Structures are given as C-alpha cells and as structure tokens.
Amino acid sequence: MPRRTSWLSAENIAFVIFLIFMIVYPFRTDDFGILNAAYFAALTLLALSLSMIWGKAGILSFGQTAFFGIGGYLYGIYTLNVLGSAQTWVGLAVGMLAGGIVAAILGWFMFYGGVNDVFVGLTTLALTLVLQTFMAQTAGPEWTVGEARLNGYNGMYIPQLSFGEMPLYGRPLYFVYLAILIGVYLLLRWLSSTRWGYGLLALQENRPRTESFGYNVRLMQVQVFALAGVVAALSGVLYASWGGYIDPSSMGLTAAITPVIYVAIGGRRSLTASMISSMILLKLSQLLASSAPEYALVIFGLLALLAVLFVPEGFVVALFNLIDRHLLNRGGGNLPGMTAPVEEVTANG
C-alpha cells in the first residue's frame, strides 16, 4: 500500500540525525565507547522486535527475551560444534531461524487457539520464565550438545562472529552491528508501509472488522509474531557474539520487562522512537548502574508510569508530533496509528 505523505517529518529527520550521530560516534570516542555502542545496537534490535509486535500489531509479548535467548544459545551450540570463521555467519542464520520457528509454533497455537490480548502477555511471560528455569538447571556435565556445554548460570562461552581468522572487534564490529540494526529497522518500516503492515494496524484496532475485509487475521498474527521472533533471536545472536558468552539471566523476568519499558517510554507505535529511546535508555541504564544501581529500575519504572499516565503515545513520539504540528505544519501524527486512538464520532452530520 503506497504512502502518499511527504517524507519531511519529525520522525524521518530524527532518523537521519540518529544515523549521522551513530556513524560519527566511533570516531569521537575510545574503544570502550565503541564496544558499548555495539552492545546497545545489539540490544536495540530487541526493542525493534517488540515495537513491531506490540506497536504495529497490538500484541504485547514478554517472550521476546525467550527468542533472544534461543537465538544466542543456538548460535553458541552451532558455532561450538561446527568450527570455522565462515560458520559463525551460518550460526547467526541458525540462531535467527530457531527463534523464528519457535515463535511461529507458539504463535500458531496461541492465535489459532483463540488466545489474544492479555493472555498472550501471560503465555509469553510463562515461556520466558520456563526457558530461564530450564536453562538454569543445565549446569551439570550431562547437559551438552555435541561440543557445546550449556553450563547453567556458569554460562556458555561462544565463538565471536568473524571475517576470515579475525573475530569482529572495535570499529568493524560496531559498523557491522550498526548496519544490521539499520537494515532491520528499514525492513520493518517498509513492511509497516505495505498492505500487510496496514492490516496489522487495522487488526490492532478491531480484529473481526479486519477479517471482514479479507485479511486472514490469525495468519497475520502468526506471521508478525514469527518475524518479531527472528529479530529478537538476531539480537540474542549479536549479544552472545559480542560478549562471547550467554547465560540464563538474559531470559529472566527483569530482562523480559526492560525492553517493554524502553519501548513504552519512547513510543511503541513508532519504530524510530523505539530505536532512539532504547539507545538512550540503555546508555542511561549503564550510567545509573555505575553511580546509583539501586535506583536504575525505579527510575525507569517511574518514567514508564509517567508515560502511561500522561503521554500514552510515548515521550519520543509526543516530541515528533509536537515538531510536526508546530514546526512542520503537518497536523501531527503523520505515521499511521501514531496518535492516540480517536473516538468514533456518532453525532449527526
């Protein structure tokens, strides 16, 4: 479905500024800063996956961290068993595929079984916690897959993505991660602007109504759930490769809720807002972790509460709308579904 609106919007301008900043940043900081930024890029993919499933399709999932963990672990299991630098990239694909397949199977049972709304949140949270609990008890030597020892909370040590014999490190690592983040972002934005993407927005507003226009709503829900699972798994692969390590804490309750908070604060309906907000909040989280770790989650919780109560569309989206309305004269909310739902008018005339 073609969009006929102008490209000059606060959201697009923000994306261009963000991109320029991210390209320039590694030349203005030290190695630690570069590695940190790559870590943020990997985790921001998780926010994008949530923005797609929650913001575009209205499906609140706490299972993205489960797919994240599946991606990371499967990448590790593959690369520890099939040696060779080229195999790390095959491992990346295996991790993504595993996340997508698990999400598709779970999505199939949920959506074709009539599970919707808050029950999806509960089911996906249960999946995350079950996976975490399962992985936590794999410390014993019997829990090995070929050469890969799962190792419970001791963690699994994993080969890093590499070109030739050289593992990715420093600026090359950062730019590969940034390219993947931007590529996924652009792909998801393009998908959101297709007829399928508009169907997602419509089913978020009213499923039966969308069905009556010829959309196979359940299939679309499974598709978007699987797609978000692939993106979350990709995030897990990049995270595992970045640190060369993964353990079950990456699938815990805090890990499941954190991306939800990041996306809610930024604005779940906008991929750009979710991406920018995630990068900023990850940085803030790190700063707070060193200066006031006990307050970090409290501050994020407070921000999320303020967003829900006073700025339900999210702080970054509210800023986009403000700029659109007052500086660009666009009337605000140029992206579909970016404004809060408007009550249907039933008055005469």
Partner 1 sequence: MLDLSHVTSGYGRTLIVRDVSLTVQRGEIAAIVGRNGVGKTTLMKTIIGLLPTAQGAITLDGEEITKRSADARARGGIGYVPQGRGIFPGLTVEENLEMGKLINRQGGSERSLDVAYAYFPRLAERKTQRAGSLSGGEQSMLAIGRVIVGQPQLMLLDEPSEGLQPNLVQQIGDDLKRINQDLGTTILFVEQNIELIMNLAQRGYVMDKGQVVRQLDHHEITNQESLVSHLAV
Binding site for partner 1 (CB under 8 A): 1-2, 4-5, 195, 198-199, 201-202, 205-206, 208-217, 333, 336-337, 339, 341-349
Smallest gap from residue 220 Cβ to partner 1 (A): 10
Smallest gap from residue 195 Cβ to partner 1 (A): 7
Structure tokens at 94: 């295996």
Nearer to partner 1, 112 or 153 (CB): 112
Give the Cα separation of 56 and 268 in Å (integer): 8
Smallest gap from residue 239 Cβ to partner 1 (A): 34
Smallest gap from residue 216 Cβ to partner 1 (A): 5
Residues 6+ apart with CB under 8 A from 122: none
Smallest gap from residue 212 Cβ to partner 1 (A): 4
Nearer to partner 1, 57 or 178 (CB): 57
In three-state secondary structure terms, 273 is: helix
Tell me how long the chain is: 349
Nearer to partner 1, 177 or 198 (CB): 198
Smallest gap from residue 103 Cβ to partner 1 (A): 22
Nearer to partner 1, 164 or 208 (CB): 208
Smallest gap from residue 222 Cβ to partner 1 (A): 14
Residues 6+ apart with CB under 8 A from 136: 152, 153, 248
Listed in sequence order, the DSSP H helices in 57-157 are 64-81, 85-112, 118-136
Nearer to partner 1, 291 or 346 (CB): 346
Q: Are 238 and 43 spatial neighbours (Cβ–Cβ below 8 Å)?
A: no
Which residue spans within 100-253 are E strands per DSSP?
144-145, 148-149, 156-157, 162-163, 166-167, 245-246
Nearer to partner 1, 141 or 341 (CB): 341
Q: Are 269 and 34 spatial neighbours (Cβ–Cβ below 8 Å)?
A: no
Nearer to partner 1, 254 or 348 (CB): 348
* Identity at 331, one-letter amino acid code: G
Smallest gap from residue 219 Cβ to partner 1 (A): 9
Q: Are 251 and 67 spatial neighbours (Cβ–Cβ below 8 Å)?
A: no
Closest CA to 218 of 102, 55, 104: 104
Q: Are 226 and 96 spatial neighbours (Cβ–Cβ below 8 Å)?
A: no
Give the Cα separation of 132 and 11 in Å (integer): 37
Nearer to partner 1, 23 or 219 (CB): 219
